[in-house]
Each structure stands twice: as C-alpha cells, then as structure tokens.
C-alpha cells in the first residue's frame, strides 16, 4: 500500500519535503478518441488507471483552443495519426481583425469543459488534474498555416496582432475560471513554439507574450496548481523564470542541447519544482525496459525526490512502449 495519495505526495514535494517515493507523471495523445468529450475523458482515465501517475495532465486536441474561431480539422480515427488541419481562420494580416472574444459556452470550449468534468468525476478527488491551456500568443499561432505569417504580422501589423491577442486573452480569462469550476486543480500552461528565439526575439515576446500570459494565469486563482511548460528549443526559460507566472511546477525539454539542463536549473528556478528528467525522444522511446530501469536508478541517485517530479520534457510519442512506462512506474 502506498503511504500517500497522489495529492498528498505532490503537496509534500511542493513544501520541499521528501515523499515516500519519487512522484511521476506522463502524458500523450490518443488521437482516435479525441473528437468527442467522452472519448478524450475515457482515454485519459484509462491511461491514469493503468499507470497510477501522481498528477494528470489532460491531453486534449491540441487545436481545441482555436476551433471556435474557425480552425477546421479532419479528425483522425487512428491512434498514432494526428488530426489534419483543413482550414485556418487567419490567412492574411487583415484576418486578425476578425478575432473577437468568445464565451466559454462556445461549442468546442464547452466540449472541453465537459472533458474536465468527466475526468474529475472518474478520477476522484485525490488525483491532481491539470488542464492543458496554451498561452494567447501560442493560440494565435494555431490560427495560421505558416508560423511566419504570425511573425510577419507581429513586425508589420503589430496593432492587429495586439487586438487579436486581447480578444484571445479575454476569452481564456473567463474560460480558466470555468475550467476550475469543472474540476481542474490548475493549468498545464504551454507556450508551444513561441517562447523561443527560433521564431521571435525575447524583446518581441516581452511585448506579445508576457502581458497576455500573465493575465490568463492570474485568472486561474491563488489556489491553483499550475505547471508552466516552456516549449521548444532555444527557449526563454531563464528570462521567464524571473517573472511571476504563478506556477509551482516548471517543465521544458531539458534534453535539448539548446536548453538549460536540469542540474543547472535548480538555481534558476529557486523555490520551484521541476517536472522532467526523461529523454522522451531518445531512451524512453527506443530503449528496452531493462535499460529504462538502469536509467531510473541513475536519475534517483542524481536528484532529490523533494525537488523533482519524474516526467518527460513534452508530450510523449504515442508509440512509446507501454513496458517502458511501466518500468518507470515500477522503479520510482
């Protein structure tokens, strides 16, 4: 019998105390079930019930944020195949003018409130549940077929982009409150490609990212359990860590050589808990279960269970062998 429930274990770690074992969580897409609220909830609960992770990061359709603004998808029916985007709401700079605030009752947003509600009912109260939400600039990035259209719009039509970001922010400030009401403990708040020098400069992110990010995360409430996921290579983790993103947990691809490695990030993220340590594109995906066991022993020798929660640097490949995930769970 475990000494602590997942919620108790996470609370101990957040207080800087050693739990009975390392905590862990992993997340992935189940594309073939994501077109319906009940299918998404069922997939998330089945995954959780099989492995017993210490918190659930709900993995919804990645584009649910933008669908009510006119993004159209051809939904996948294959577990390992992504949905296909067939229509984008922004194809030229003037289209940013069409992005207006939405209510949480918009069809796709409402569908994902139902996802949270179903998962909370199915998981019980002792599992912390984080709902995936992209930052406003990241949501704007889902509205274009080519990232460069948004980059060019930022540089040539900044007011149009700001107005669209204001509408997105107003929408999701309301939506975050409803996510909490539906049963989410907090947010898995993700920057996707945009908090990175691959596309824009830090000065541009300070203008088009940070102010809107902070408004949405503030709306999650003082008691929210938030995880800030700083995605992509060449990311702005260090700069963002100096701002108040109201997140107790931080996650990024620490295995990417352009990003800060975990052992050099504890000082950067003073007082925060790191979720990571797993090379989800490398040994997790390609090694044997026995090799995973050895990797886990190395991690446990290297890190303190009161400072880190074992997890991937991003969503794991759906083709990741279940035996490898089980080897992680068996060796916490």
Say which CATH topology domain 6-330 has.
Answer: TIM Barrel (3.20.20)
> Of 1, 30, 18, 3, nearest to 309 (Cα)?
18
- What's the token pair of residue 6? 């997942």
Region 147-165: mean pLDDT is 98
Give yes or no for residue 21 having a pLDDT over 80. yes
Calculate the CA 213 to chain-centre distance: 14
CB neighbour burial string for 48-63, b if at least 16 within 10 angstroms, e if fewer: beeeebbbbbbbbbbb
Euclidean distance between CA atoms 269 and 181, whole angstroms: 29
pTM to 2 decimal places: 0.97
pLDDT tens digits along 135-146: 999 999 999 999
Which residues are CB-contacts of 68 (< 8 A; sequence separation ≥ 6)? 102, 106, 107, 108, 109
178 SS3 class: helix
> Of 8, 5, 13, nearest to 308 (Cα)?
13
The pLDDT of residue 199 is: 98
Give yes or no for residue 289 having a pLDDT over 80. yes
Count how many residues are written for the chain: 332
pLDDT tens digits along 208-233: 999 999 999 999 999 999 999 999 99
**39 exposure class (CB count in 10 Å sphere: 0-12, 13-18, 19+):** middle
Give me the residue label for tokens 């002792």. Answer: 126
Give yes or no for residue 38 having a pLDDT over 70. yes
The pLDDT of residue 2 is: 78
The pLDDT of residue 135 is: 98
The pLDDT of residue 1 is: 64
The pLDDT of residue 103 is: 98
Task: Name all contacts of 83-88 with Cβ < 8 Å and 24+ positions apart.
Answer: 83/31, 83/34, 85/145, 88/143, 88/144, 88/145
Q: What is the dihedral of CA 2, 293, 321, 49, to 10 degrees?
A: 0
105 SS3 class: coil
């Amino acid at each position: 019998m475990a000494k602590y429930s997942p919620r108790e274990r996470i609370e101990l770690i957040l207080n800087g105390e050693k739990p009975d074992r390392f905590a862990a969580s992993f997340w992935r897409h189940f594309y073939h079930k994501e077109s319906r609220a009940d299918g998404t909830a069922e997939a998330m609960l089945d995954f959780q019930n099989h492995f017993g992770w210490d918190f659930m990061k709900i993995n919804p359709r990645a584009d649910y944020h933008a669908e009510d603004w006119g993004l159209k998808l051809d939904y996948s029916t294959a577990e390992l195949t992504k949905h296909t985007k067939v229509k984008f709401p922004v194809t030229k700079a003037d289209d940013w003018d069409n992005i207006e605030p939405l209510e949480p009752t918009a069809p796709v947003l409402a569908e994902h409130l139902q996802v949270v509600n179903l998962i909370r009912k199915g998981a019980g109260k002792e599992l912390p549940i984080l709902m995936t939400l992209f930052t406003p600039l990241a949501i704007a990035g889902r509205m274009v077929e080519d990232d460069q259209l948004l980059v060019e719009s930022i540089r040539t039509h900044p007011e149009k982009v700001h107005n669209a970001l204001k509408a997105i922010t107003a929408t999701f400030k309301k939506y975050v409150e409803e996510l909490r009401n539906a049963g989410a403990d907090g947010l898995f708040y993700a920057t996707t490609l945009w908090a990175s020098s691959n596309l824009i400069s830090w000065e541009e992110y300070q203008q088009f990212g940070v102010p809107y990010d902070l408004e949405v995360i503030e709306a999650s409430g003082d008691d929210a359990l938030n995880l800030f996921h700083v995605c992509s290579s060449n990311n702005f983790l260090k700069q963002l860590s100096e701002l108040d993103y109201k997140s107790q947990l931080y996650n990024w691809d620490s295995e990417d050589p352009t990003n800060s490695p975990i052992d050099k990030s504890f000082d950067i993220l003073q007082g925060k808990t790191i979720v990571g340590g797993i090379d989800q594109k490398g040994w997790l995906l390609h090694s044997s279960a026995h090799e995973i066991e050895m990797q886990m022993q190395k991690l446990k020798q290297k890190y303190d269970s009161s400072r880190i929660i074992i997890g991937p640097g991003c969503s794991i490949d759906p083709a990741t062998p279940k035996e490898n995930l089980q080897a992680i769970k068996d060796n916490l």
